[in-house]
């Protein structure tokens, strides 16, 4: 895998994907997005990876948005295609089948916040700021922000963020449920790694099915979602891991899961 703008490292079953363009605050041009997609595809395909952490290089930014220089050259058709390409990368993250944790180490504006919204859990440095400034540039969020944000914080807060473009500090983001927790900047990566390590002790297939149930269920009716849940509950009941998990509890020992 030849990545120019993203660092990819696997250690202790955790893949870390670091957007690495700090001189431009990790702004997302097409090449950066392609590298994020390639790194995420590698993490998905690698059975040695159980959890993925996505973060940004440097002290200041997670990702300061789509590359405004590249956007400035955009045409109508090109804009739609760019949005579709970006959405495909974020859909890949959301549907990775393994937990993806965003370590929001600084600014997450525009496409940067949208990238974090596609992750399953979000943790922010106390100094982080998030927002969707697009309307101020006379564009709209194009990497899923108009869809994922209202599903996470509700329509009222999402519209406030999208229409005003105001930036939201980490404490407010936590109060809104936009991030799961906030840590001191120097502690962020270790804290996120601790969450990732804890997730590695859980049944991997069960987590994949739980992710699928929640993701598919929250974009359909409750009735349909409940059908999805019971079907997946049935499938998970056929796994060796389920028998191991239940037997380990009964035998008062730690389970050993094999993802089967
Ligand atoms: N696209 C392209 N370049 C960007 C960028 C973006 N979204 N965000 C930052 N950069 C570049 C800056 O142009 C600057 O490059 P330069 O040194 O070659 O001039 C470099 O990153 C550092 O940014 P700078 O603005 O000097 O840092 P700052 O600390 O003063 O401000 C921000 C930080 C995040 C407040 C500011 O960079 C900003 O508002 N960025 C745009 C955010 C945005 O609107 N994102 C949504 C885009 S749709």
Residue 54 has pLDDT above 90, yes or no: yes
Question: Which pLDDT value is given to residue 1?
Answer: 86
pLDDT (tens digit per residue) in 116-156: 999 999 999 999 999 999 999 999 999 999 999 999 999 99
- Helix, coil or strand: residue 257: coil
Testing ligand 1's pocket by substitution, the residue of 23, 63, 65, 70 carrying the most ligand atoms inside 8 A of its CB is: 65
Question: Which pLDDT value is given to residue 130?
Answer: 98
Query: Residue 184: CA atoms inside 13 Å, Cβ hemisphere, count?
Result: 2
Helix %, strand %, coil % for the chain, to 5? 50, 15, 30
Question: Which pLDDT value is given to residue 250?
Answer: 98
Mean pLDDT computed over 158-164: 98
- Helix, coil or strand: residue 155: helix
Q: How confident is the model at residue 163 (pLDDT cuts 50, 70, 90)?
A: very high
Within 6 A (CB) of ligand 1 lie: 24-25, 27, 64-69, 107, 109-110, 133-134, 137
DSSP per-residue letters across 63-101: E--B-HHHHTT--HHHHHHHHHHHHHHHHHHHTSSS-EE
**Alpha carbon of 108 to ligand 1 centroid (Å):** 11
Q: Name the DSSP class of 116.
A: H
Q: Are 100 and 61 in contact (CB under 8 A)?
A: no
Mean pLDDT computed over 245-250: 98
Residue with the nearest Cα to atom 40 of ligand 1?
64
- Helix, coil or strand: residue 233: helix
Q: Which atom of ligand 1 is nearest to the CA of 60?
A: 29
pLDDT (tens digit per residue) in 196-209: 999 999 999 999 99
Q: How confident is the model at residue 99 (pLDDT cuts 50, 70, 90)?
A: very high
Burial class from Cβ neighbours inside 10 Å (0-12, 13-18, 19+) for residue 180 reads middle
Q: Domains in the chain and their CATH numbers?
A: 6-199 (3.90.226.10), 204-250 (1.10.12)
Partner residues linked to 168 by β-bridges = 130
Does the active-site annotation cover 114? Answer: yes
- pTM above the 0.75 mark? yes
Phi (first) and psi of residue 51, to 5 degrees: -145, 150
Q: Are 116 and 175 in contact (CB under 8 A)?
A: no
Testing ligand 1's pocket by substitution, the residue of 5, 22, 24 carrying the most ligand atoms inside 8 A of its CB is: 24
**Alpha carbon of 129 to ligand 1 centroid (Å):** 13
**Alpha carbon of 69 to ligand 1 centroid (Å):** 10
Catalytic residue among 134, 184, 244, 251: 134
Residue 74 has pLDDT above 90, yes or no: no
pLDDT (tens digit per residue) in 11-41: 999 999 999 999 999 999 999 999 999 999 9
Mean pLDDT computed over 54-75: 95
């Amino acid at each position: 895998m030849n990545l120019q703008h993203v660092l990819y490292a696997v250690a202790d079953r955790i893949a870390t994907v670091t957007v690495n363009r700090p001189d431009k605050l990790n702004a997302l041009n097409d090449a950066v997005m392609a590298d994020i997609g390639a790194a995420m595809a590698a993490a998905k395909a690698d059975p040695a990876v159980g959890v993925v952490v996505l973060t940004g290089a440097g002290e200041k930014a997670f990702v300061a948005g789509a590359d405004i220089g590249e956007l400035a050259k955009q045409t109508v058709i090109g804009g739609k295609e760019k949005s579709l390409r970006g959405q495909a990368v974020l859909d890949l993250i959301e549907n990775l089948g393994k937990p993806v944790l965003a370590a929001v180490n600084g600014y997450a504006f525009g496409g940067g916040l949208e990238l974090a919204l596609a992750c399953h859990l979000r943790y922010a440095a106390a100094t982080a700021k998030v927002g969707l400034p697009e309307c101020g540039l006379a564009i709209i969020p194009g990497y899923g922000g108009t869809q994922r944000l209202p599903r996470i914080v509700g329509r009222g807060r999402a519209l406030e963020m999208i229409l005003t473009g105001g930036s939201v500090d980490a404490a407010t983001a936590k109060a809104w449920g936009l991030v799961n927790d906030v840590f001191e900047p120097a502690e962020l990566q270790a804290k996120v790694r601790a969450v990732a390590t804890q997730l590695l002790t859980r049944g991997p297939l069960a987590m994949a099915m739980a992710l699928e149930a929640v993701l598919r269920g929250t974009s359909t009716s409750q009735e349909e979602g409940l059908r999805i849940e019971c079907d997946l509950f049935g499938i998970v009941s056929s796994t060796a891991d389920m028998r191991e998990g239940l037997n380990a509890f009964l035998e008062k020992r730690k389970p050993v899961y094999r993802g089967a």
